Structure 1
Amino acid sequence: MTEIEASATRTGRNWSVRVPGYLVYGRGATLKAAKASAEAGLALIGVIAEIRLIPQSAELENLRAAEAEVETARETAVRALHLRKASKRDIAISTGLPYAQVKRILAEHSERGTAPESSPTSTQTLHHELMTPQVPSTADLVDSTEGTLLIDYPFWMLYGGPSRENLLPNGQEAAFAGEECAIPSAQARISSPVTISEWDGPPPAGPGELIGEGTLDCPQGELVVDTPATGSDLRLRLGVPGLYGVRVWRIHEEARERQEFDVRLWLLEEWPPGS
């Protein structure tokens, strides 16, 4: 059966319905009665159809706009948590969405393969998706630095600005939020070689195991390494302030109690100075 969409407005104590495209009207004390009245009017001119009523008022329009904003915010939160490697179950718990809806949102976002634009703020990570290259990278190395970290805790921090959110890694995966990234260490109280490099595009794969990828806000155009106990001792000056993609690899040789890290960054969006 054909379905026709029609608006219903409250007039006095009744609902009034006008069927678009036809000189047919309906009226009733309830939406059900108004719908039946309009369908009966269509039948009189030989049109058999089911009407789907959309009640209209200024207050209802405001309500629908607010619901749309909430829905958009939830979808943005789902994508952001997914980018930070949260499980689908944890995303559902965090956003209050059904697990099936979380899966649908992520599937639709993956099919689109694009991310909405945004202004350069600490919420940039909500609006960018990193895609692991399916072809060999052609990016060139821009700059790099290396050193040795004394890791007193089972993680160390990489940050691009002044904010300190006490971010913790999620299991054995790097955790990203705004200007910070927490990188898990396979061992505590260990000296680990670390290489940090900037590339002019998505970088080639590093050595060892990829333990995380995400985005990092770098408003000062500089990356700083910080270990919770020993302080900052490794810095890399970046080309420009902006939002950077980050991938982290780790080599862990448990038998030799040895590990090393390779952090590779590339510019996603340049920000104006002082933004």
Structure 2
Amino acid sequence: MSKTTIIDKEAARQIREGMKADCTKCFSLCCTALNIVASSDFSINKPAGTPCLNLQPNYSCQIHSQLRDKGFKGCTVFDCLGAGQVVSQVTFKGQSWRGNPEIGKKMFQVFPIMEQLHEMIAYVSEALSYEIPEDIADKLSIQLKKLQYLTELDADDLLALDLIMYRFSLNELLTIASNFVREKAISKLPGNRNIKDFDHARVDWIGKKLEGKDLRASDFRGAYLIASDMRNSDLREVNFIGADLRDVNLGGADLSTSMFLTQMQINSAKGNEMTRLPIYIQKPSHW
């Protein structure tokens, strides 16, 4: 692969920032395709492939402005990174599941697959937006183009994909990119520390008090941070890939250059107007 085929940082940023849901172009797949279990996030049980009882004929939600009050907090957390409109308008070419059970069955099966592809595209494009070694950028560019191609496949080909294989091949590259960015940040911090001192991958810090802590360049891959107190903490250059941020208090925290955050992670957390987020993440309306 020649140097000219590497996706430049600005193009990568635009791809990442464009990974947003457009519900006006989707046939409410998150309200139909997914399985819902009654919990603190959902007040009902709903089998996969069954429309939510609040879904209206025009694909809108009749309690959209009251979701959290009515026991549907999980709906305000969910974000598909734009997978819904791609399945609706590209994979199925604007054909709805209404009135066509065969299309519906496949559409509901394809949706979670497209979700995962979009998540991988988001991670790869974000990694390419950083200052990383050229050989890693080269490999990530190849992966990004492959993933973008996969989103254009027809339903049957999408259903036949081995997503575990694609995730496995990406994991090492994303880790290398993250470590490169974090090591550069660590080198500017006071004290003689190395990257191992910042390794908190898969740590169980549920409910931990971390208010005002300097956690810059930490690795929180797959970490359990549920209901921890991170108010006013410095979380720049932190790797949050796969971290559980449910009910984490991020009021006043600086996540402006945090890595691999998703809108869903932030939607599940708590914050305020003082919380600083990456440019591609929107402040949830319920904050």
Query: Quick check: TM above 0.5?
Result: no
Structure showing the higher strand proportion among its residues:
1
TM-score between both structures, scaled by the size of structure 1? 0.23
User: Which structure has the greater CA radius of gyration?
Assistant: 1
TM-score between both structures, scaled by the size of structure 2? 0.22
